[in-house]
C-alpha cells in the first residue's frame, strides 16, 4: 500500500467531513462526504446528490472524481469517505468502478466514522478503516479488458 503522511491523512479526513455539509439527500437522509488528494497536492471534495428517479443519484465519491477530472486532475494518491454514521461506511460498487478508471489499486482509502476523532479512544486507529482500491474491488474490470482479443 502507498502511504499518506500524517498531515495528508488529516487534511483528507477534514475535507471529507466538510464536503458532507453540501450533500443533497432528501430521499435517503444519508449524507456522505468524500475527498480525493491529487498527486500535485490538491484536495477535491464531493457530496452525494440524490435524484427523484433514484437511479440518477450520484454518490460523493463520484461527484468528487468527475469534478477533479473535468478540471484536469487525473492522478490521485488518496481518498477519504465519511458519513453521519459513527462507523466506517464503504463506497458502493458503482463508485469503486468509477474510481478504478483513474486510480492505482494500492491507493489508500480511509473510511472515517462520523464521530472521529472521538472514536479514537475506542480503538487502536481511531475507528478509521484503512483500505485500498484493490482491496475493495478485487479482480476488477477495467479499461484494459476492453482491449483484449475476442474469441467468441
Minimum Å gap between C-beta 41 and a second copy is 19
Q: Does 61 participate in catalysis according to the annotation? A: yes
Find the binder of a second copy among 1, 10, 94, 125 (CB under 8 A).
94
Nearer to a second copy, 61 or 78 (CB): 61
Residue 59 in contact with Zn ion, rule: CB under 5 A: yes
54 binds, among Zn ion, a second copy, none (CB under 5 to 8 A by kind): a second copy
Q: Which of residues 30-69 bind a second copy (CB under 8 A)?
A: 30-31, 45-47, 49-60, 62-67, 69
Residue 66 in contact with Zn ion, rule: CB under 5 A: no
Q: What is the CA radius of gyration of the chain?
A: 16
Minimum Å gap between C-beta 23 and a second copy is 8
Q: Is the peptide bond before 117 cis (omega within 30 degrees of 0)?
A: yes
Nearer to Zn ion, 91 or 113 (CB): 91
Three-state secondary structure string covering the chain: CCCCCHHHHHHHHHHHHHHHCCCECCCCCCCEEEEEEECCCCEEEEECECCCCCCCCECHHHHHHHHHHCCCCCCEEEEEEEECCCCCCCCCHHHHHHHHCCCCCCCEEEEECCCCCHHHHHCCCCCCEEEEHHHHCCCCCCHHHHHCCCCC
Minimum Å gap between C-beta 94 and Zn ion is 5
**Residues belonging to the active site:** 61
Residues lying near Zn ion in the complex (CB under 5 A): 59, 92, 94-95
Amino acid at each position: 500500500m502507498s502511504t499518506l503522511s500524517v498531515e495528508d491523512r488529516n487534511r483528507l479526513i477534514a475535507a471529507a467531513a466538510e464536503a458532507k455539509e453540501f450533500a443533497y439527500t432528501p430521499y435517503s437522509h444519508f449524507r456522505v462526504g468524500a475527498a480525493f488528494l491529487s498527486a500535485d497536492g490538491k484536495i477535491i471534495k464531493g457530496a452525494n446528490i440524490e435524484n427523484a428517479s433514484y437511479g440518477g443519484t450520484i454518490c460523493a465519491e463520484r461527484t468528487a472524481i468527475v469534478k477533479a477530472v473535468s478540471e484536469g486532475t487525473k492522478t490521485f494518491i488518496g481518498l477519504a469517505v465519511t458519513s453521519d454514521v459513527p462507523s466506517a461506511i464503504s463506497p458502493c460498487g458503482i463508485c469503486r468502478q468509477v474510481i478504478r478508471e483513474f486510480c492505482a489499486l494500492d491507493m489508500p482509502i480511509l473510511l472515517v466514522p462520523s464521530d472521529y476523532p472521538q472514536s479514537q479512544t475506542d480503538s487502536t486507529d481511531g475507528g478509521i478503516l484503512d483500505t485500498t482500491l484493490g482491496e475493495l474491488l478485487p479482480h476488477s474490470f477495467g479499461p484494459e479488458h476492453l482491449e483484449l482479443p475476442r474469441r467468441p
